[in-house]
Chains A and B, each alone.
Chain A
Amino acid sequence: MSNEIEPIRDPGLPAHQHRQADTDPIAAQRAERQVAILFGLSAVGTLLLIYSYIFVKSDKFIFIPVLGNTNTQQLGLGMGMAVALFCIGAGAIHWAKTLMPDEEVIAQRHEFRSDDEDRAEFVKTVKSGAASAGLGRRPLIKRSLGVALGLSGLTPLLLLRDLGPLPKDNLQKTSWKAGTRLVTDPGDRPIRPEDLEIGAVAQTLPQLAPGEERTLNNIGKDAVLLIRLRPEEFNLTAERLSWTHEGIIAFSKICSHMGCAVALYEQQTKHLLCPCHQSTFDVTRAAKVIFGPAARPLPQLAITIDADGYLVAQQPFTEPIGPSFWERSS
C-alpha cells in the first residue's frame, strides 16, 4: 500500500462552447437588431426628456395608478433620463454578451524586473541630467529648494489647528444665570405663572441682554421646557420642590443621552419622551428615567418669579446639560 499522494492534475480549460450568434448568422442579425433597438430606445428617452423640459407646462398633473397625481413634467424628465441611461447600459451589455468575441485567451505575465540594459540606461540619464542641471555646483539653489519643499510639507499639518480650540468650560455652562428671565421661543416674550394653564407647556430660552445675539450653539444648550402640573402631583424632594413655582417645573430640553430635543410631553401620563431613542422621563419625579437608554434625569432648572412677576431662573443649572462627555464630573 503506497501512501504517496497523487498530485492533482491541472484540469485545463473546458472546451469552448460557441454561442448561437457565433454560428448562426440569423441569430447574429437578431442580436444586432436587439442592441440597436435598445440604443434607439435610449435616444427616444433623451428626446422625451428634451420635449418635457421645453414643451410640457410645469404645473400640469396627471393621474398614474399607484403613484397618484403626478407632475407631468417631472415624470417626463425622470422617465426620459431613466430610459436614456438604462438603455445605453443595457444595449452595451447585450452587445458584449452576444456579439463581441468571447473566446478564452491566455496572456502570459511578463517578468516584472526591467532588463539590465534599460536599467543602466535610466541611471545614466538621471546622472547626466543632474550634472547638466548643476545642482552640485550651485548650492544656493539646492538649499533654497530644500527649504521651500520642507516648508510646503507643513501645510497639511497646519490644517490640524482647526481641530481646536478646546471647548474649555463651554460644555459645563449655559447662558442661564440667577435672575435670567424665561422668554418664549420663538417670540422672546417673558412669561408670568398665570399665563400657563394646568397641563400647559412652553418652549423657552433665556432672555437676551440688549445688543446680544442668539447663536445656534447657545440655543442648542439653553432650550428649556416649562410644564405646569397640579402642585400635588409632584413627587419631589424638598430641594427640588423649592425649584418649582406653583406647579411650574422647568427642565433642560437637551436629552442626557444623545442631545436630541426632548419635548414630547404626554399630558395625561406626565411623561416626557425623547423622539430619537424613546428615553422616557417622569416629570413628577424630577424627570427620572423610566425607559430607554438615557443614563441621567434631565437637568432641572430652579425657577421663581422676579419683582415684576415674571418667571426667572433662581440659579444656573447645577450640572452640565446634555449628553455625557469625557471630562464630565458626574
Chain B
Amino acid sequence: MKRLSRLRRHRAAGPILLIFALFTIGTTFQVASAVNSDTTTVAARSATIDEGKQLFLKGCSSCHGLNAEGGQIAPSLIGVGAADVDFQVGTGRMPMADMSVQAMRKKPVYNPEQVNALATYVASLAPGPAVPTDAVLNYERDGSVAQGGELFRTNCAMCHNFAAQGGALTQGKYAPTLMGVEPKQIYEAMITGPQSMPVFSDKTITPAEKLSIIKWIKSTEAEPQLGGTALGRVGPVTEGLLVWTLGIGLLIGVAVWLAMKAR
C-alpha cells in the first residue's frame, strides 16, 4: 500500500489514469450499445408491432381508422403513447361496449401480451408517454403518504371524492372510484388524462409526487373499517340517510309505545 501511495504522486500517474479511465468507459459503452443494437430485440420489437397492428386492424380500426388517424366517432391515436393504450385497453374501457357518454371499466378483452402489442404499435406511430416500469412504480419506497394526501386533496379530491371513492360529473359522466385500481393504471391516468380527466404534467406534479399520491390511495384502500360497513365513504349523505331512517324510525317507535295505554 505504501508503495502505491508513493506512485500516486508520480508525474506520469495522471495521464496513465486518464487513459485507463477513457479505455474502460469506451469498452463499457461498446458492450452496452452492442446489447441495445442486438438484432434479435429489434426483430422481436417489429414482430410485436406487427402483431399489434393486426390486432388494431381487427379490433380498433373500425372507429379509430385504419392508420389510427381517428374518425367521426373516435379520436386519433397518433401520439397518445403506449401508456394511454395500456390504460384504456388494460382496464377494459376500450373497446367500448356501446357509445355511451363514458367508457366504463370492465373485464379486459385482450390479454396482457396483446395489450402490450397494441401499445407498442400505437407508440410506434408517434412518440408519447411510455408505460411506467415496475422500477419507476416503487411507491412504497419513493412515496410519502402525508405528501400524497396533500396533493390528492388539492388535485384529485374534487372529482374522485376525498376518500378516492369516485363522484359524479356532468351529464352522466363520472369520476370512477380509485379503490382496487392498479398503481400502474393510476400513474398512466395521471400522465395521459383519459376521457374527462385532465393531464397532470410531470413538471407540476413530479413523478415522485405521483408515487406519493398512489401511496396515499393505497393506504386509504388498506384502512380497516372499524364499524363494518363504510356506507360508501361519501360522508354525511349516507350517514345522514341512515340516521334519518333507522335512528328517527326507532325514536318514533319508542314514542308510539310510550304513549300507548297499557292493557
- Chain B's closest residue to A262 (CB) is B158
26 contacts between A and B (CB under 8 A): A67-B227, A67-B229, A71-B224, A71-B225, A71-B227, A71-B228, A97-B260, A97-B261, A184-B204, A184-B205, A187-B206, A196-B199, A196-B201, A196-B204, A198-B199, A199-B198, A200-B199, A201-B198, A203-B154, A266-B169, A266-B173, A267-B193, A268-B195, A273-B169, A273-B170, A278-B170
A307 contacts partner chain B, Cβ-Cβ < 8 Å: no
A273 to B158, CA, bound (A): 10
Cα separation A131 to B175 with both chains bound (whole Å): 82
**Cβ B258 vs Cβ A191 within 8 A:** no
Among B154, B193, B206, B257, which residue has its beta carbon within 8 angstroms of that of A93? B257
CA of A123 to CA of B175 in the docked complex: distance in angstroms? 78
Whether B241 sits at the interface, judged by CB under 8 Å, is no
The distance in angstroms between the C-alpha atoms of A291 and B170, with both chains bound, is 10
User: Which of A191, A266, A275 has the most B CB atoms < 10 Å from its CB?
Assistant: A266
CB contact under 8 A between A185 and B228, given known A19-B263, A195-B204:
no
Instruction: Say whether A268 contacts B196, CB under 8 Å.
Output: yes
Closest residue of chain A to B147, judged by CB? A186
Q: In this assembly, does A317 line the interface, its C-beta being within 8 Å of a C-beta of chain B? A: no
Contacts of B197 in A (CB 8 A): 267
Residues of chain A within 8 A of B209, CB atoms compared: 187
The listed residue (A93, A186, A267, A268) touching B151 by CB distance below 8 A is A186
| CB neighbours of B154 from chain A (8 A) | 185-186, 203
Among B159, B197, B204, B206, residue most surrounded by chain A Cβ atoms (within 10 Å): B204
Whether B150 is near chain A, meaning CB under 8 Å from some CB there, is yes
The verdict on A197 contacting B224 (CB below 8 Å), with A67-B229, A203-B155, A264-B158 known, is: no
**From DSSP, what is the main secondary structure of chain B's interface residues?**
loop
Q: How far is the CA of A69 from the CA of B230 in the complex (A)?
A: 10
Q: Is B226 an interface residue (CB 8 A)?
A: yes
Q: How far is the CA of A64 from the CA of B261 in the complex (A)?
A: 37
Residues of A209-268 at the interface with B, using a CB-CB cut-off of 8 Å, are: 227, 261, 263-268
Binding site for B on A (CB under 8 A): 19-21, 61, 64, 66-71, 74-75, 89, 93, 97-98, 102, 184-187, 189, 191-192, 195-203, 227, 261, 263-269, 271, 273, 275, 278, 280, 291
Across the interface, which residues of A come within 8 angstroms of B228, CB to CB?
Answer: 64, 67-71, 75
Given A61-B224, A69-B225, A203-B154, 9 other A-B contacts at CB below 8 A? A67-B229, A69-B224, A70-B227, A93-B257, A93-B258, A184-B204, A186-B147, A186-B154, A197-B193
CA distance A227 to B201 in the complex (A): 11
Q: How far, in whole Å, are A282 and B92 apart by their CA atoms in the complex? A: 31
Contact check, B193 vs A199: say whether CB atoms are below 8 A apart: yes
CB of B236, distance to nearest CB on chain A (Å): 14
B110 at the interface (CB under 8 A from A): no
Tell me whether B200 and A201 are in contact (CB under 8 A). Answer: yes
> Who on chain A is nearest to B159 by CB?
A264
B200 partner residues in chain A, CB cutoff 8 A: 200-202
Q: List A contacts of B155 (CB < 8 A).
A: 203, 263
Contact indicator per residue, chain B 244-263, by CB within 8 Å of chain A (1) or not (0): 00000000001001101111
